[in-house]
Amino acid sequence: MAGCVFCGIVAGEVPAFRVVDEPDGVAFLDTRPVFKGHVLVVPRAHLVTLADLPPASLPGYFGLVQRLAVAVESGLGAGGTFVAMNNRVSQSVPHLHTHVVPRTKGDGLRGFFWPRTRYSDDAEAQEYAARIAAALAPA
C-alpha cells in the first residue's frame, strides 16, 4: 500500500535491519526499541488489524512469531520475551505487526509503559539482527 512504511520494508524500498524474510512474514528490528533486540513481525500483505488476517494465514504468521520469540530469547541470552500486538489504538503504523521484546528479570518494564531506547549506531543494530537471525529455527 502506498505510503505504508511497513509495506515499503517488505518490498525492500525502505531500509530496515531484517531478521527474516519468509512467505509468512518479514521481521526486522524496531527503530525505537523498548530493549535492544525488539523485533517487529509483519505479514507481507497490507493488513491493518488482526481481524484482517485470513484464517488460513494464522498458522504460518503466528508460527513465525513463535519462532522469533524463541530466537530472541536464545540469540540474545534474554530471560524471556514480551509478545504484543495493538489493533488501531496505539498502533503507530496502521499495518498489522507483532512486537517481540527481549526481557530480563528486573529490566524495569512495568505494565504497558514502554520506554524506548536507541541503538548506538547501525553496526550495533545489525549485530542484534544477526544474532537473532542466527538463532532462528528453520521453518
The reported pLDDT for the residue numbered 136 is 85
Q: 97 catalytic, yes or no?
A: yes
Q: Could you list the pLDDT tens digit for every one of the 139 residues in the chain?
A: 779 999 999 999 999 999 999 999 999 999 999 999 999 999 999 999 999 999 999 999 999 999 999 999 999 999 999 999 998 888 889 999 999 999 999 988 876 666 678 899 999 999 999 999 999 877 7
Handedness of CA 117, 90, 5, 58 (dihedral sign): positive
Tell me, what amino acid is at 13? E
Count of domains forming the chain: 1
Nearest-angstrom CA–CA distance, 74 and 93: 28
Burial 56-75 (b: 16+ CB within 10 A, else e): ebeeebbebbebbbebbbeb
pLDDT at 112: 61
DSSP state of 112: T
From first CA to last CA, the distance across the chain in angstroms is: 27
Under 8 Å between Cβ of 51 and 42: no
Q: What is residue 30's predicted lDDT score, i.e. its pLDDT?
A: 97
What pLDDT, on a 0 to 100 scale, did the predictor assign at position 119? 92
**pLDDT at 113 (0 to 100):** 62
CATH code of the domain in which 78 resides: 3.30.428.10
Place of cell 500500500: 1
Write out the H or E segment, with its range, that includes residue 71. helix 58-76
CA distance 127 to 110: 27
Q: DSSP characters for 5-61?
A: HHHHHHHTSS---EEEEETTEEEEE-SS-SSTT-EEEE-SS---SGGGS-GGGHHHH
Parent domain of 131: 5-135
